[in-house]
Amino acid sequence: MEGFGGGLRHGRASLAVGFFAQGAAFALLVTRIPALQDRYGVSDALLPAFLAAVPVLAGVGSVATEHLVKRVRPSVVLRWVQPVVCLALLGAGAGNALWQLAASLAVFGICVGALDASMNMLGVSLQRAYGRSIMLGFHAAYSLGGILGASLAWAGAHWHLSLAVLYGPVVAVLIPLTLVASRWYVDRKTEAHDATATATAAAAPVAMRLLLPLCLVMAFAYIGDSTVSNWSAKYLQDVLGGSEQLATVPYNVYMVTTLLGRSVGDLGVRRFGAAAVVRTGALVAAAGFAVVAAAPGAWVGMAGFTLLGLGLCVIVPQTFAAAGRLFPGASDTAIARLNIFNYVGFLVGSPLVGALGDAWSYRGAMLVPMLLVAATLLYARSFGTEPARYGVDHERPRTADVGRAGNGL
């Protein structure tokens, strides 16, 4: 039993390394999009197509992973797609022809979908084995990696480093780091009791009508997140009159507060339950958008973006965890399907705010993600009304109210 516990601790630490590496790689890509555009001569008209292709292909990768993990363990998928993501990042920075950028982004997108799905599958199964909430800690590692990646990207821009010079050393560190860490990945299919779990999973279909509330929550959260990622700098500078330098701060503040919120969020889930934490997060995030929309100046706007980080940060990890509780016998399938709505939110959020901003006003546009995030309150019952309770090596479906309505879950 002691060895099993030690294996879980190693599995938890190694998976945190995977989340960290993915956060860094993704941040290095998205924060250097202008440099990629300049390197390959991508026109402003063509750039949205390139950017939209990544989440679309990521959704394809997530769907493919749903079927792949029926044949191989999620840990195997994660072990091999993570280095490919890093190599695709390097390929995007080192190429010269437009087709090379297209190919690199296509590989990046498909593998990111597989990576996101398999990482969260492992996180949910580890949480089940631990018997307490640990998912927010994994996503905190992702946020920390994102902060590091964004900081390295800033340094590369500041010192005018080529993308190949910036990406090369990072990839050279991340690939061996994640491959070594992958030796200690733990998932259900490596545990002795998994023959029964696999049979249960095969017999337990995922009913989309039960999963749909969580899918909507996931999409709403990523609409809010993509709004901050894509519009915070422009909003602070053009609407609130902030300087060009100050306009770079809101996203960094958002990332830092996301890290802080996720670092302590598991304690809140253990004490008050997932539903209470998600409700609080939704209220704080909605308040953040309201402050941003009504802000008289840049510093008040920054306070709004700070609230957004603290509120939105808890929703996504708990949505994955709730899917695992709702479908304890088919959590891998549920998570792969739920993960698609990550990319739906990303695809919808930025164009939606941009179109409303151009047609109406950017202040008014901020009210739309505010209302969508607030709508999470309508679905909070799907996260459970009591503190999360776990059995030994399985989660009790009683934590999800909607689960009691179908298939005896």
pLDDT in tens, 245-289: 687 788 888 989 999 999 999 999 999 999 999 999 999 999 999
Distance CA(20)–CA(43), nearest Å, equals 32
Once rounded to an integer, what is the mean pLDDT over residues 95-108? Answer: 96
Measured CA to CA in angstroms, residue 301 lies from 29, 67, 249, 254, 288 at distances of: 26, 44, 11, 12, 9
- Residue 199 included in any domain: no
Which pLDDT belongs to residue 5? Answer: 60
Q: What is the mean pLDDT of the chain?
A: 87
Q: Do 36 and 116 belong together in one domain?
A: yes
75 with 114, same domain: the answer is yes
Q: In the structure encoding, which two tokens stand for residue 284, read together?
A: 């704080």
Chosen domain end from 153, 187, 221: 187
Pair (263, 336) in one structural domain:
yes
pLDDT tier for residue 408 given thresholds of 50, 70 and 90: very low
Residue 195 lies in a domain: no
Q: Is residue 408 part of a domain?
A: no
Angstrom distance (rounded) from CA 240 to CA 243 = 9
pLDDT at 74 (0 to 100): 96
Same domain, 317 and 363: yes
pLDDT in tens, 10-27: 999 999 999 999 999 999
User: Rounded distance, CA 206 to CA 165, Å?
Assistant: 45
Q: What's the pLDDT tens digit per position in 48-57?
A: 888 889 999 9
Same domain, 251 and 110: no
Amino acid in the structure at residue 94: A
In the structure, what pLDDT confidence band is assigned to residue 381 with cuts at 50, 70 and 90?
confident
pLDDT bin (cut points 50, 70, 90) of residue 409 is very low
Structural domain boundaries, residue 308: 206-402
Mean pLDDT of 95-103: 95
How big is the chain by its Cα radius of gyration, in Å?
Answer: 20
Task: Look up the CATH number of the domain holding residue 284.
Answer: 1.20.1250.20
| 183 and 239 fall within a common domain | no
pLDDT for 204 equals: 53
pLDDT per position as a tens digit, 229-256: 888 888 988 899 988 768 778 888 898 9
- CB within 8 A of 16, min separation 6: which ones? 137, 138, 141
User: According to the model, what pLDDT value does residue 362 have?
Assistant: 93
In this prediction, residue 209 carries a pLDDT of 87
Answer yes or no: is pLDDT of 34 > 50: yes
Q: What distance lies between CA 269 and its chain's CA centroid? A: 19
Residue 196 domain-assigned (yes or no): no
* 3 within a domain of the structure (yes/no): no
Final residue of a structural domain among 155, 187, 219: 187
At 390, phi and psi to the nearest 5? Answer: -125, 145
Asked if residue 206 has pLDDT above 90, the reply is: no
Place of tokens 């991340």: 174
According to the model, what pLDDT value does residue 188 have?
A: 64
The token duo for 257 is 């507060």
Q: Which of 143, 158, 187 is the last residue of a domain?
A: 187
What is the percent of the chain where pLDDT is above 90?
Answer: 69
Distance CA 44, CA 35 (A): 13
Q: Is residue 403 very low, low, confident or very high in pLDDT (cuts 50, 70, 90)?
A: very low
Average confidence (pLDDT) over 303-327: 95
> Is 136 in the same domain as 231?
no
- Mark whether 47 and 98 lie in a shared domain: yes
Asked, for residue 147, whether it belongs to a domain, the answer is yes
Report the range of poorest mean pLDDT among 79-88, 166-175, 221-230: 221-230
Q: 323-349 burial by CB neighbour count: b if 16+ within 10 A, else e?
A: bbbbbbbbbbbbbbbbbbbbbbbbbbb
What pTM was estimated for this model as a whole? 0.87
Q: Are residues 358 and 274 in the same domain?
A: yes
- Whether residue 27 is found in the same domain as residue 134: yes
Which amino acid is it at 39? R
Distance of alpha carbon 273 from alpha carbon 70, whole angstroms: 31
Does residue 397 register a pLDDT over 80?
no
Q: What is the mean pLDDT of residues 336-352?
A: 93
Q: What residues contact 194, with CB distance under 8 A and at least 6 apart?
A: 188
At 224, is the pLDDT very low, low, confident or very high (cuts 50, 70, 90)? very high
| 306 pLDDT higher than 90 | yes
Tell me: do 213 and 346 sit in the same domain.
yes
- Please tell me the distance from the alpha carbon of residue 283 to that of residue 367, in angstroms, as a whole number: 14
- pLDDT (0 to 100) of residue 244: 74
Closest to 117 in 3D by CA, of 343, 337, 338, 336: 336
Lowest pLDDT segment from 157-171, 192-206, 354-368: 192-206
Residues 265-278 as b/e (b if ≥16 CB within 10 A, e otherwise) read bbebbeeebbbbbb
Q: Where are the alpha helices (DSSP H) in 69-134?
A: 74-94, 98-130
Angle between helices 249-272 and 315-326 (to 10 degrees): 40
| Residue 48 maps to a domain | yes
Instruction: Tell me the three state secondary structure of residue 158.
Output: helix
Query: Which residue do the tokens 């993704």 mark?
Result: 26
C-alpha 355: how far from chain center: 24
pLDDT given for residue 384 in this prediction: 74
Domain total for the chain? 2
409, part of any domain: no
Residue 392 has pLDDT above 70, yes or no: no
User: Are residues 255 and 318 located together in one domain of the fold?
Assistant: yes
> Tokens representing 141?
């590692």
C-alpha distance from residue 241 to each of 248, 353, 371 (Å): 13, 19, 25
Of the given ranges (93-107, 122-136, 241-255), which has the lowest mean pLDDT?
A: 241-255
368: number of CA atoms within 13 Å, CB side? Answer: 22
Which letter does DSSP use for residue 402 in this model? G
